[in-house]
Amino acid sequence: AVQPGEIAGLLGPNGAGKTTTISMILGILEPTAGSVSILGKDLATHRQEVLAQVNFAAVYAQLPANMTVWQNLYVFGSLYKVIGLKSKIKKLLDQFSLTTYEHMKAGALSSGEQTRLMLAKAMINEPKLLVLDEPTASLAPSAAREIRAAIRAYANEHRAGVLWTSHNMHEVEVVCNRVLFLSHGKILLAGNPNTLPAEHGKENLEELFIAVAHEKLLSE
């Protein structure tokens, strides 16, 4: 579960099930058991209504390269039926430092610029659930810090839930209110990223992540 205004970190080694979980939340994969509920409504039976309140960004889900920055935001904003779309795009271009590139094709952007464009797209419909898979992976440290602050401010202002995956444990400690450790498709641990390591005999979140990855938790 992700609560309104909360940034929850979904953590785990490669193969733990993070992307599969995200794909189920986004309605791309159908769960073999259980259900996905967003804003109190079942995804399977209220798919269109629910997904209108969700958005997503990941470095592997790039936007159409032959469309400009502005065109990408306009097309996706139109799909979400955003009211006052042109003014919304202007605000996002400014927020993510993309105004200079608005007429440039997305494929010509640097990896960091493409990441900022994907995050702008992810906020175009002011989603109540924002799913971010390694959102700052290709950003310079200063840019990553600004993006983390922007996402934190967005969650607070809109009371939106954010599900955030990352292999950067320092980033997770800074940005996440709560973390969920996945192992073999199951939630192994959950709690406050600043106190959870000590509860399991580890000095920091990175040590705990390594222990989970190697299945060597001292508490077990």
Tens of pLDDT, residues 100-143: 999 999 999 998 899 999 999 999 999 999 999 988 887 888 88
Question: Could you tell me the pTM of the whole model?
Answer: 0.91
Q: Does pLDDT of 216 surpass 70?
A: no
What residues form DSSP beta bridges with 163? 8, 131
Q: What is the pLDDT of residues 132-185, one digit of tens each?
A: 998 888 788 888 898 899 899 999 999 999 999 988 899 999 999 999 999 888
**What is the overall mean pLDDT for the chain?**
93
Q: What is the pLDDT of residues 70-99, one digit of tens each?
A: 999 999 999 999 999 999 999 999 999 999
Question: 57 — phi, psi (to 5°)?
Answer: -145, 140
Q: Identify the pLDDT of residue 219.
A: 42
Q: Does pLDDT of 63 surpass 60?
A: yes
Q: Does pLDDT of 55 surpass 90?
A: yes
- DSSP symbols for 45-99: TSHHHHHTTEEEEETTSPPPTTSBHHHHHHHHHHHTT-TTHHHHHHHHHHHTT-G
